[in-house]
Homo-oligomer: A and B are copies of this chain.
Amino acid sequence: MIIDFQTDPSRYRHWKIEVDGQTATLWMDVDENGGLVEGYELKLNSYDLGVDIELNDAVQRLRFEHPEVKVVLLRSAKDRVFCAGANIRMLAGSSHAHKVNFCKFTNETRNAMEGAGAASGQHYICVVNGTAAGGGYELALAADHIVLVDDGSASVSLPEVPLLAVLPGTGGLTRVTDKRKVRRDRADVFCTIEEGIKGQRAADWRLVDDVVPNSKLDALLGERCAEFAAKSDRPSDQGGISFSPLSREIGEAHVRYTHVSVELERSERVATISIIGPEHGAPSSAEDAHAQGDEFWPLALARELDDAILHLRSNEPEVALIQIKTQGDPQMVLAYDRFMASHSGNWLIREITAYWTRVLKRVDLTARSLVALIEPGSCFAGTLAELVFATDRSYMLVGQFDGDNRAEASLLLGEANFGLHPMSNGISRLETRFLGEPEAFEQAKGSIGSALDAEEADELGLITFAYDDIDWEDEVRLFIEERASFSPDGLTGMEANLRFAGPETMETKIFGRLTAWQNWIFQRPNAVGPDGALRRYGSGQRPDYDFTRV
């Protein structure tokens, strides 16, 4: 079965979007029988990857299709339960790789919800009615504001450790300590109380922002919506653009889109992502870009690249290495970048830029070795050059291939490489790259707009290796063969440590510390073994632990 990350509201089984002026309500109403695979029922608004794929789609569409929406109310359509978190039988029955990919995607989606408020003024307010347990509370934690409806039974909880022997791994621990800054001993207490915390105490401990009786809920929400809307600079008078289905063909050994293609060499454990540069010049105005809608090149490409990465993560588990290539006119890529920069005040352009930031982070966080191959005819310029700096290493051809008359390979920096798209660590890829060489960073800045050949790019420290056509094939082949022969786990751990030098943020803590500990626990018999807590949950039998503390 192929896991498909594309959907649209007409196909949602678990969510409903209602738009009313500047406020939208995103209703969670999980279909018990709508699990992505057989073997579990999604009771009590518990979720699996399928539910989250719809959520991701909804979060995206609300941003692009509804510029007028300034506040999103995240609510449960079920009585007395907000969300019971990730479905436990699903977790218990999933492979290690699926659990890890599932957690990564859900984390990215929650970051996107947070980012909607921070980057484009679309703020989430979560209304917790009934229980918000585990992943349910983690979903609430991703909102800018949490309202607890005090009906005597509503509560928030992170019961993973006591009940399931796993962590609240969708950002829960990190957001409790670093976003909501709950005192650590209270956090310790909270994370060990199965039934969670209710009422005023939840507010006193800063686990929620408002506690309100049902009778006063509507009035309070009206007030909060107005407050958050007042902080938003989203336009009230402009129409959104709609996302049509991606043009995509999935074959035996390829996935082809309009601007992106993925070719698979499974026996080599290699995937090649090829990106085609713009075929037309940049539009003349923001209105023109808007009129192009989801066919506007930067947006269309972001959507396709995003889908390609997600597809590879979930559906090609044995691909060890992703090669990234481009083809096109680098000056035209820079022209698009300049167009984007000169219209950065436009809501749509801002949305697309923020989307690129997310897609590039998705690349950074992909647990596959990444290499950029900069060859003649390529267009690694500006935003596309970010892909070079996102890879683990890059190879650039000196001169031309024998009998190939395409333009010599060049690399072009643009303003987009200097802070427009911060990594999870909060700084740009070039700043991260040159942490130890601030002078190289300044030199790189000085080269903005110049077409750098391989030797110049090498001299500036922008690429890893420059080879001429005599050595190119052997060097690249040897690298790929060797890389694909290494332990995939060793590579995952190594890359997770080498990619994010410098400052740490809540995001890097989530994907570094929290995720790594969770992955460890997902290997431990106390959680996943036949007598472990995940497998025994709901059986009436207590888990049987090895009590060695590690």
Which A residues contact B (CB, under 8 angstroms)? 96-97, 100, 160-162, 164-167, 173-174, 176-178, 180-189, 191-192, 206, 269, 317-320, 367-368, 391-394, 432-437, 461, 463-464, 482-484, 486-499, 501-504, 508-509, 512-514, 516-521, 523-524, 526-527, 533, 543, 545-550
Closest residue of chain B to A515, judged by CB? Answer: B516
State which of B100, B162, B514, B527 has its C-beta within 8 Å of the C-beta of A497.
B514
Q: Complex Cα distance A171/B147, Å? A: 43
Q: Complex Cα distance A502/B504, Å? A: 10
Given A162-B482, A178-B435, A320-B547, list of 17 further CB < 8 A pairs?
A162-B486, A166-B490, A173-B498, A177-B497, A177-B498, A183-B434, A188-B494, A189-B464, A318-B547, A320-B549, A368-B549, A484-B547, A487-B527, A488-B546, A493-B518, A497-B517, A512-B512
B-chain residues with CB within 8 Å of residue A550 when the two chains form the complex: 96-97, 100, 367, 488-489, 492, 519
Asked, given contacts A483-B192, A490-B161, whether A436 binds B182 with beta carbons under 8 Å apart, the answer is: yes
Q: Can you show 8 pairs from A to B with CB atoms below 8 A apart?
A: A160-B490, A182-B436, A185-B463, A188-B464, A317-B549, A493-B521, A509-B512, A516-B519
Contact B490 A165 (CB under 8 A): yes
B-chain residues with CB within 8 Å of residue A509 when the two chains form the complex: 504, 512
Asked, given contacts A393-B189, A549-B319, whether A177 binds B501 with beta carbons under 8 Å apart, the answer is: yes
A449 nearest CB across to chain B (Å):
23
Contact A490 B183 (CB under 8 A): no
Contact B178 A501 (CB under 8 A): yes
Contact A521 B490 (CB under 8 A): yes
A29 nearest CB across to chain B (Å):
31
Q: Complex Cα distance A250/B495, Å? A: 44
Contact B487 A533 (CB under 8 A): yes
State which of B318, B394, B498, B514 has its C-beta within 8 Å of the C-beta of A191.
B498
Q: Complex Cα distance A259/B512, Å? A: 40
- Rank and list the top 6 A-B pairs by shortest CB-CB distance, nearest first: A181-B436, A165-B487, A516-B516, A504-B504, A493-B517, A177-B501
Contact A547 B186 (CB under 8 A): no
Q: Complex Cα distance A425/B272, Å? A: 40
B-chain residues with CB within 8 Å of residue A543 when the two chains form the complex: 487
Closest residue of chain B to A183, judged by CB? Answer: B433
State which of B97, B160, B167 has its C-beta within 8 Å of the C-beta of A548.
B97
Contact A496 B513 (CB under 8 A): yes
B-chain residues with CB within 8 Å of residue A181 when the two chains form the complex: 435-437, 501
B-chain residues with CB within 8 Å of residue A176 when the two chains form the complex: 498
Per assembly, the copies of the chain total 2
Q: Complex Cα distance A318/B545, Å? A: 11
B-chain residues with CB within 8 Å of residue A508 when the two chains form the complex: 504
Contact B520 A487 (CB under 8 A): no
A411 nearest CB across to chain B (Å):
14
Residue from the set A164, A437, A514 with the largest chain B CB neighbour count within 10 Å: A514
A235 nearest CB across to chain B (Å):
34
A294 nearest CB across to chain B (Å):
31
Q: Complex Cα distance A189/B393, Å? A: 8
B-chain residues with CB within 8 Å of residue A521 when the two chains form the complex: 489-490, 493
Contact A526 B487 (CB under 8 A): yes
B-chain residues with CB within 8 Å of residue A96 when the two chains form the complex: 550
Closest residue of chain B to A388, judged by CB? Answer: B185
Asked, given contacts A100-B550, A188-B498, A497-B513, whether A527 binds B166 with beta carbons under 8 Å apart, the answer is: no
Contact B547 A167 (CB under 8 A): no
Contact A393 B188 (CB under 8 A): yes
Asked, given contacts A97-B550, A498-B177, A514-B497, whether A184 binds B432 with beta carbons under 8 Å apart, the answer is: yes
Q: Complex Cα distance A268/B437, Å? A: 54
Asked, given contacts A188-B498, A317-B549, A498-B188, whether A527 binds B490 with beta carbons under 8 Å apart, the answer is: yes
Residue from the set A185, A433, A497, A503 with the largest chain B CB neighbour count within 10 Å: A497
A373 nearest CB across to chain B (Å):
14
B-chain residues with CB within 8 Å of residue A368 when the two chains form the complex: 549
B-chain residues with CB within 8 Å of residue A545 when the two chains form the complex: 487-488
Contact B183 A437 (CB under 8 A): yes
A418 nearest CB across to chain B (Å):
17
Contact A496 B523 (CB under 8 A): no
Q: Complex Cα distance A434/B523, Å? A: 34
Residue from the set A484, A490, A504, A546 with the largest chain B CB neighbour count within 10 Å: A490
Asked, given contacts A317-B548, A320-B549, A486-B165, whether A184 binds B520 with beta carbons under 8 Å apart, the answer is: no
